[in-house]
Structure 1
Amino acid sequence: MRTWRVLLVVLVTVVAVVAVLWLAQRRLIYFPDRAAPAAPPDVREVALETADGLRLSAWLLPPTGADRGYAVLMTPGNAGNRAGRIVLARSLAAAGLTVLVVDYRGYGGNPGGPTEEGLALDARAGLAYLSAAGFVPGRVVYFGESLGAAVATGLAAEHPPAGLVLRSPFVDLAAAGQVHYPFLPVRLLLRDRFAVAETIARVRVPTVVIYGSADATVPPDQSRAVADRAAGPVTVVVIDGADHNDAELFHGPRITSAVTDLLHRLG
């Protein structure tokens, strides 16, 4: 009898833990800074209209170097807000690019809460804004960072850009989550999938995959696997010794160079 009671307690505990994880899982995926950042003087705050009726704030930076006639649509990672991407955005603008930094629903003072479907809608709204500003898809490069690499890849499969730059992409969210929660059935529990490697197999545009060799958040072998699955021509850039949020990988000069080198190849 005692054995059955112990087993029952264990079973109830496991079910309770799984239930909590199922209900609260997005709090373990998305870490938004919900505060609305003030736009610096060199930044234009713009509004993106999503297909499900949200109005999102984003930042637009015009080129400060010789205008190349290209725009970069930046889809950030899962933490912070657009203010944390301003250094890279300014570097890209100085390289002659128009830069739109998307802030997702639930981030940076925006309404709503993040989900995989919602982030896809937010990225589409960013592309629609650039299209209305005169940038056809053949003059837009998508730049996705970490989780944003999944968002950018999904958008590229739907609306092929001139080129795609993925910084620290994972194979899929379950593979990334299993690294940090090896004791949980992550693949069974996840509602948001972000299947990057599967999706990029349908993307034929020139692609750059950037990762740090010491990335402890997204293991380098996952980023390499994404590069291996790409259907189009791929360039791989490895930042030796860089971890996931190190400055060199976050907004260092080699990140900007990876984008401008891609543009040179596009002609």
Structure 2
Amino acid sequence: MAVAVRVLLVIAVVVVVVLALFWAFQRRLIYLPDTAPVPAAARVLPGAEDVRLHTTDGLELGGWFVRPPGEAPATVLVANGNGGSRTGRAPLAAKLAEAGLAVLLFDYRGYGGNPGDPSEDGLALDVRAAHRFLVEDRRVPPGRIIFYGESLGCAVVTGLARDHPPAGLVLRSPFVDLASVGAELYPYLPVRLLLRDRFPVRDDVARLRVPTVVVLGDRDSVVPPGQSREVAAAASARLVELPGADHNDPVLVEGPQVVDAVTALIPGATG
């Protein structure tokens, strides 16, 4: 009996330690930034401009503003996923600029050489700084801004859209909420009880009245395609499914279907 009690105590201690470690280090599992400073914009995207964004809690964030050859009918605010930096989104920005759109790429706090540590509240402040830059500094009418969210960025732009409705919303590989993805990755942990950051995409889009397109790959190994379909249903969105595409495949990162999803939301566009 004493041995059995000791075994149970050891198991209990191990469980408590594992849960405590998950609680303490969970944001290191959620946010996977490339922390190195990024190159100058023009070295990556010819004609692009380095810009600085200022958050209401005192951080200065780096961004790239990309102009098309002619006058842009709309500007795309791109909210990145949880990994890398804005350099990885340069191919998308180049394709959107080729399609005649202006584009703002930026990095969240803690990414791309920016100060600070990422969190749900922090990313909300960061994307608001990006929106404020477009509206106040570049004088882009709010009704001419399209929000583009990639994976975790879907949560970031849907949160922004609650307060600042855009011309349209493109959600690439959205999840229902962060806990739903976490439960897939860590099925033996009580993820919903432990998560600090929630990112409730489905609940947010259900309250919006914004033209929305959801793009997903039906072989996505990071965000289950069923979750993206659930978000599309909640948003009454047009759904674009790319057969055979995984989460970071080029066709989902910069493919023509992704560009078409954005251009279809240009105010006045048809088709």
Question: Given the alignment of the two structures, is residue 76 of structure 1 paired with residue 80 of structure 2, yes or no?
Answer: yes
How many Å separate the matches in 1 of 2:261 and 2:71? 17
Q: Secondary structure at the match of 1:262?
A: coil
How many Å separate the matches in 1 of 2:206 and 2:261? 21
Q: Deviations over 1:211-253 (max 9, x none)?
A: 00100100110000001111xx521111110000001111111
Question: Given the alignment of the two structures, is residue 183 of structure 1 paired with residue 184 of structure 2, yes or no?
Answer: no
39-48 or 15-24, which moves further after superposition? 39-48
Q: Deviations over 1:170-193 (max 9, x none)?
A: 000000111111111111110000
Q: Indicate which of 89, 111, 115 corresponds to 2:93.
A: 89
Q: Residue type of the partner of 1:256?
A: V
Q: Residue type of the partner of 2:98?
A: A
Matched residue, 2:21: 20
Matched residue, 2:38: 37
Q: Secondary structure at the match of 2:20?
A: helix
Q: Residue type of the partner of 1:168?
A: S
Matched residue, 2:151: 146
How many Å separate the matches in 1 of 2:237 and 2:233? 8
Q: Indicate which of 197, 207, 211 corresponds to 2:202.
A: 197
Question: Given the alignment of the two structures, is residue 55 of structure 1 paired with residue 60 of structure 2, yes or no?
Answer: yes
Alignment of 1:115-130 (within 5 A): 115-130=119-134
Question: Given the alignment of the two structures, is residue 248 of structure 1 paired with residue 251 of structure 2, yes or no?
Answer: yes
User: Any conservation in 1 of the 2:144–2:267 contact (CA below 8 Å)?
Assistant: no
Give the deviation of 1:266 after TM superposition: 5.1
Q: How many residues align?
A: 264
User: Any conservation in 1 of the 2:216–2:228 contact (CA below 8 Å)?
Assistant: yes
Q: 1:213 to 1:265 in 2, by over 3 A?
A: farther
Q: Residue type of the partner of 2:247?
A: H
Matched residue, 1:262: 265
Q: Residue type of the partner of 2:90?
A: I
Give the deviation of 1:265 after TM superposition: 5.7
Q: Secondary structure at the match of 2:265?
A: helix
Q: 1:40 to 1:76 in 2, by over 3 A?
A: same
Q: Secondary structure at the match of 1:77?
A: coil
Matched residue, 2:139: 134
Structure 1 vs Structure 2 CA RMSD: 1.1
Question: Given the alignment of the two structures, is residue 11 of structure 1 paired with residue 12 of structure 2, yes or no?
Answer: yes
TM-score by length of 2: 0.95
Give the deviation of 1:39 after TM superposition: 2.0
Q: Deviations over 1:35-62 (max 9, x none)?
A: 1111242221100000100000011101
Q: Secondary structure at the match of 2:109?
A: coil
Matched residue, 1:172: 177
Q: Residue type of the partner of 1:70?
A: A
User: Any conservation in 1 of the 2:86–2:106 contact (CA below 8 Å)?
Assistant: yes
Question: Given the alignment of the two structures, is residue 102 of structure 1 paired with residue 103 of structure 2, yes or no?
Answer: no
How many Å separate the matches in 1 of 2:218 and 2:52? 37
Matched residue, 2:219: 214
Q: Residue type of the partner of 2:171?
A: L
Q: Residue type of the partner of 2:56?
A: A
Q: Secondary structure at the match of 1:263?
A: coil
How many Å separate the matches in 2 of 1:236 and 1:183? 32
How many Å separate the matches in 2 of 1:265 and 1:245? 31
Q: Residue type of the partner of 2:140?
A: F
Q: Deviations over 1:151-207 (max 9, x none)?
A: 011001111011000000000000011111111111111000000001111110100
TM-score by length of 1: 0.96
How many Å separate the matches in 2 of 1:98 and 1:32? 25
User: Any conservation in 1 of the 2:41–2:64 contact (CA below 8 Å)?
Assistant: no
